[in-house]
C-alpha cells in the first residue's frame, strides 16, 4: 500500500487546515489530493460532517493545533495566501449565477456515502469495504 496525504511543512506550520463552523466539520482539502498524486488516485469527497456525530472509522484526523475561534494566524505568508483565497472565493461567488460545483461529491452522512457507492464511486466503495471488514483508518508511524 502507498499513502499520500498532508504533511507538516518546515517551520512547524501545518499544511492542511479544516474548519469547524455552525456545528459542522468542513474540509475541502481531500478533494485536491488526487490532483498532485504521484500515482493514479481515486477522487475524494469534500467533508461536511456534523460535529455532534462521531466520524466514521474510515475517516481520521490528527489534530496538532487547535486555534481559538476568531484567531488570525499571524505569519505573513499564511496571511497573504488566506487573503488571496478569500478574495478569490468572494469574486467567484459574485460572478456565479448558478450554484458553485465542487467537482466531487460531499460526504455529509452515511446516506451520502451509500448514494455515492450506488453510483460506483471507487472511494465510497472502498469506505464501505472498511466498514464491512471493521477496519479503522490509521496514521502511518
Task: Spell out the residues 6+ positions from residue 110 whose beta carbon is closer than 8 angstroms to its own.
Answer: 56
Confidence of residue 2 (pLDDT cuts 50, 70, 90): very low
Task: For residue range 79-127, list pLDDT tens digits in order.
Answer: 777 777 778 778 877 886 766 666 788 999 999 999 999 999 999 999 9
Structure pTM? 0.71
CA distance 73 to 135: 36
pLDDT of residue 141: 59
d(CA 79, CA 100): 25
Domain ranges of the chain: 19-70+100-132
pLDDT in tens, 114-136: 999 999 999 999 999 999 999 88
Helix residue spans in the chain (DSSP H): 76-95, 110-118, 122-132
Dihedral of alpha carbons 139, 3, 43, 18, sign: positive
Distance CA 56, CA 61 (A): 11
pLDDT at 35: 63
Instruction: Locate 106 and state its grid cell.
Output: 460531499
The burial class, CB within 10 Å (0-12 / 13-18 / 19+), for 134 is exposed
Amino acid at each position: 500500500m502507498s499513502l499520500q496525504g498532508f504533511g507538516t511543512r518546515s517551520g512547524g506550520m501545518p499544511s492542511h487546515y479544516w474548519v469547524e463552523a455552525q456545528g459542522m466539520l468542513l474540509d475541502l482539502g481531500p478533494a485536491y489530493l488526487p490532483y498532485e498524486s504521484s500515482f493514479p488516485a481515486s477522487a475524494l469527497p469534500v467533508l461536511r460532517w456534523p460535529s455532534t456525530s462521531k466520524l466514521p472509522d474510515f475517516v481520521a484526523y490528527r489534530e496538532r493545533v487547535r486555534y481559538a475561534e476568531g484567531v488570525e494566524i499571524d505569519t505573513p505568508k499564511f496571511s497573504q495566501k488566506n487573503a488571496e483565497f478569500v478574495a478569490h472565493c468572494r469574486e467567484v461567488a459574485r460572478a456565479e449565477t448558478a450554484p458553485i460545483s465542487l467537482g466531487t461529491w460531499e460526504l455529509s452522512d452515511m446516506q451520502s456515502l451509500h448514494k455515492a457507492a450506488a453510483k460506483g464511486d471507487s472511494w465510497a466503495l472502498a469506505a464501505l469495504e472498511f466498514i464491512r471488514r471493521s477496519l479503522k483508518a490509521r496514521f502511518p508511524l
